[in-house]
Structure 1
Amino acid sequence: MVRRDTTDSPRRRIVEAAVELLEKGGPDAVSTRAVAAAAGMQPPAIYRLFGDKEGLLEAVAEHGYAQFLENKRARLDPEPRDAVEDLRRGWDMVVEFGISRPELFAVMDRATGREAAMAHRAGLEILHGRVRRLAAGGWLRVEEELAAQIIQATGRGAVTTWHSTPAARRDPALLTALREAMVTAVTHAEPTIPRAEAGPAAAARALRAALPDDADVLSDAELHLLREWLTRLAADRSATQA
């Protein structure tokens, strides 16, 4: 059971102040002095309650896991009609959390404390429940433990890749593709995106990839314009079918 603080306890005030500073300025913003000031307390209170900054960050991770599990359990369907869609929803929820709260997600991912470990196991129990329902329904393609590992790895990989990609180049289609690759890897269900694509968009991608850096037939301006047209065609979802 993840430890819960009473609403107005000094510990909770400090942890919530630390979370706010973390999400605004990253780990460097979570100094004991800054956290104490934000919580309306004196720095010695942090040392008394958490020992040091690392202890405080462990408490932040526990707080994050508690929030995440509460949300996960609130949205959990104990007897879903469609186990595969339930898997998709669960995967999406984890990835959404990691994308929307990157600093907190990173602290949770690095946590090694007992409370964080217990919360992590509680989350895994929910995941294994989903995998067991897939197996019971005849959907599972691989062993349950491997399926759980694939689901975790693709979710974590999706979050990591999203945040390591410059904002201007982030494409939500990546998340859908990774999720459906996971579904295909662990179940017998058909993906919700086409396995193969035909039409102008696919042709545009192929031609764009084949274009040389310099083409004698075209001027630099013409080559630049052609690449712009091909990029727009390649990204056009309505042009994916011939």
Structure 2
Amino acid sequence: MSTRTRILEATADLLASSPTGEVSTRAICQAAGVGPPVLYRQFGDKDGLLAAVVDYGFEQYLATKRTRLPSDDPVRDLRTGWDLHVEFALSHSSFYRLMYSTSPTMSPTAGNESFRLLVETLERCAALGRLRVSPDAAARMVMSANVGVSLMLITRPTTYSDPSLSHRVRDAVHAQILTTTAPEPGTGVSPVAARLNALLSASPSETLTPAETALLREWLTRLSDTAT
């Protein structure tokens, strides 16, 4: 293990066990077996260290997602993605709490790739006519619920002890954003608009100008995000 990784791991462990969520650089150096000059040379200051801990946690999480090839069933991929997210949170609780911390010292861009990968899966669902709302709106719903459940399982294990909780919340959220089948005539505008929007994203129309396509996609997003 490199010196940098050792410092990151030690910081995450100390923060996870701290009752106040605070830890001194002195304690970090002692746990990692390095002197303060080494820490500051690696990370600049404490805020830089905390931001690096968050990025390190996301890199561990994304490493598993980047290697997974999409299947021919995006709805199944969506369900699998939820479950893998919760599994990562439970097995890397120290990092996970930092990854979704609201501390202003954390990197504001951390997690953007995770959100983008979720949107891509939902765009595939929309292209099959299986999405009730726009991929962006669906991603916000899924991500907020997935993170919320994961944090509760980690921070309140006694209260949230039901082993089926994650799947029950997952299925409830998916029921709100997914259709059971591709839309048929008379089923409403939202899933049709979401599907056309996804198809335009995947294969832009050569008939329309880029500006016209952008305007059409804006309208389709409004229609797909309108409750039916």
Structure 2 matches for 1:182-197, cutoff 5 A? Answer: 182-189=173-180
Report runs of 4+ in structure 1 exceeding 3 Å deviation. 20-30, 111-114, 116-119, 163-166
Asked whether the 8 Å contact 1:84–1:134 carries over to 2, the reply is yes
- TM-score where L is the length of structure 2: 0.68
1:143 Cα deviation after fit: 1.7
Q: 1:209 is matched with which residue?
A: none
Question: 2:91 pairs with 80, 87, 100, which one?
Answer: 100
Structure 2 matches for 1:214-229, cutoff 5 A? Answer: none
- Aligned mates of 2:150, 2:81 — CA distance in 1: 14
- Aligned mates of 2:19, 2:65 — CA distance in 1: 25
Asked whether the 8 Å contact 2:153–2:160 carries over to 1, the reply is no
1:168 Cα deviation after fit: 6.4
Residue 154 to residue 169, structure 1, CA distance change in 2 (3 Å): closer
* Structure 1, unpaired ranges of 5+: 1-6, 191-242
2:111 partner letter = H
Residue 49 of structure 1 pairs with residue 42 of structure 2: yes
Residue 173 of structure 1 pairs with residue 164 of structure 2: yes
Asked whether the 8 Å contact 1:66–1:119 carries over to 2, the reply is no
Residue 154 of structure 1 pairs with residue 161 of structure 2: no
Question: 2:79 pairs with 74, 88, 102, which one?
Answer: 88
Q: 1:229 is matched with which residue?
A: none
Structure 2 matches for 1:1-242, cutoff 5 A? Answer: 8=2, 10-23=3-16, 25=18, 28=21, 30-74=23-67, 76-78=68-70, 80-110=71-101, 116-167=107-158, 170-189=161-180
The share of aligned pairs that are identical, in percent, is 36
RMSD, aligned α-carbons: 2.6
1:159 Cα deviation after fit: 1.7
Tell me the matched-pair count.
180
Task: Please say which of residues 57-66 and 105-114 is displaced more in the overlay.
Answer: 105-114
- The structure that is helix-richer by fraction is 1
Residue 131 to residue 22, structure 1, CA distance change in 2 (3 Å): same
1:178 Cα deviation after fit: 0.2
| Greater RCO (CA < 8 Å, at least 6 residues apart) | 2
* Structure 2, unpaired ranges of 5+: 182-228
2:5 partner letter = R
Asked whether the 8 Å contact 2:54–2:110 carries over to 1, the reply is no
- Aligned mates of 1:28, 1:154 — CA distance in 2: 23
Asked whether the 8 Å contact 1:58–1:112 carries over to 2, the reply is no
Asked whether the 8 Å contact 2:58–2:111 carries over to 1, the reply is yes
1:121 Cα deviation after fit: 1.4
Asked whether the 8 Å contact 1:22–1:104 carries over to 2, the reply is no
- Aligned mates of 1:163, 1:41 — CA distance in 2: 30
- Aligned mates of 1:140, 1:27 — CA distance in 2: 42
- TM-score where L is the length of structure 1: 0.65
Asked whether the 8 Å contact 1:17–1:39 carries over to 2, the reply is yes
- Aligned mates of 1:177, 1:34 — CA distance in 2: 41
1:187 Cα deviation after fit: 0.6
Q: 2:209 is matched with which residue?
A: none
